[in-house]
Amino acid sequence: MATNYLDNPAVANFVEYLKIPSVQPDVNYDGCVSFLKNQAQQIGLSFKVYEVVPKKPIVVLTWPGKEPGLPTILLNSHMDVVPVFEKSWTYPPFSGHIDDEGKIFARGSQDMKCVGIQYLEAIRKLKQAGVQLKRTLHISFVPDEEIGGLDGMKKFIHTSEFKALNIGFALDEGMANPDEEFIIFNGERSIWQIHVHCTGQPGHGSLLIPNTAGEKLRYIIDKFMDLREEQKRILENDPTLYIGDVTTINLTQIYGGVQSNVVPEKLTAVFDIRLAVTVDHTEFENRIKAWCKDAGEGVTFEFEQRNPYVECTKTDASNPFWTAFKGATDEMGLKLSRRIFPGGTDSRYIRSLGLPAIGFSPMNHTPVLLHDHDEFLKADVYLRGIDIYVKLIAAVANV
């Protein structure tokens, strides 16, 4: 059965892309670039590589539309994948092994090499059918999304090359869903990573010294964790909410001190916070300032990462691209579940320019395995996704 699937050129292309180990950290993107150049030549798309940062290529394939002056459609995906723990995998993680059930095992099979190839295979089908779209399509393959996109999409959106693409609407990655619905994401929480530094009176570990860093640290941790508990309860008590609808807080690091019997002059706690789209950023920061003040003298905080508030993409009649997207999914009889993305994707940079963007990966009846061992996607789900994109791409590009 596995060999039958590989006889399908769309599956063979997917497996070839999965075999390129574009794994973080220190990714060599050369294999991806030459693979994509070959695909562009086969399909008949123009091919460009932009390097905003050396060795961090942004690959853009373009299919001109009938009305090239109109704002264009961006189909975005990222080339990099997260690290693997090979011993925990049933099959080698860059083998693209297909088992008897048609499961394609590889790092990137869900996150998100599938979507990049599904775009290309859908365009191949549209071109073979003699279709010409109204709007120009740009298919972008970007680097370093898995480490925040800092040298990829984040920098690319500020270049004259990006502006020249004249984007009007973007599609980017979504997530698998074990159930019937296809999840679409129209917004993301803001990532704040904060280091809270607590300074205090040092001394011998046998004494009860007043005004210690440890006492202040305890106060700070309690405040953050109480808020975490409150958000947890909100999520548990309302079945209509998903993780992306609440603010999450996690204590991820504690560091400081010199040795066991010395009361340290400084201790630091690090919190990873994902602010719900309903949170007022100024108010939230003022709350943290108040906690630091109440904890005692010498308590400060700094940001490791601080995403600004980015407005969600409208999913109503005011957004003609959404109307077209939704119309196409209705026509196909797809059930949609609209949510806020729980992590971070490159969509946030696109939305920060005021451009509408929808996160969507056509993977229903599929366990969520992004970043997990034995990541796989079933071949039939992958192939159906291509047909879904044929309809979706045509719909949004003809707005």
Which among 145, 172, 188, 245 is annotated as catalytic? 145
Among 279, 272, 277, smallest CA distance to 191 is for 272
268 phi/psi in degrees, rounded to 5:
-125, 140
- Whole-model pTM: value is 0.94
Does pLDDT of 2 surpass 80?
Answer: no
The question of whether 222 is a catalytic residue gets the answer no
Percent residues over pLDDT 70 in the chain: 99
Residue-wise pLDDT tens digits, 277-312: 999 999 999 999 999 999 999 999 999 999 999 999
Residue-wise pLDDT tens digits, 202-217: 999 999 999 999 999 9
Which among 80, 146, 188, 346 is annotated as catalytic? 80
Does pLDDT of 81 surpass 70?
Answer: yes
The question of whether 99 is a catalytic residue gets the answer no
Does pLDDT of 48 surpass 90?
Answer: yes
Does pLDDT of 375 surpass 90?
Answer: yes
Domains of the chain and any CATH numbers:
2-188+312-397 (3.40.630.10), 190-276+278-306 (3.30.70.360)
pLDDT at 3: 57
Q: What is the mean pLDDT of the chain?
A: 97
Does pLDDT of 276 surpass 60?
Answer: yes
pLDDT at 246: 98
pLDDT at 198: 98
Give the confidence band of 4 by pLDDT, cuts at 50, 70, 90.
confident
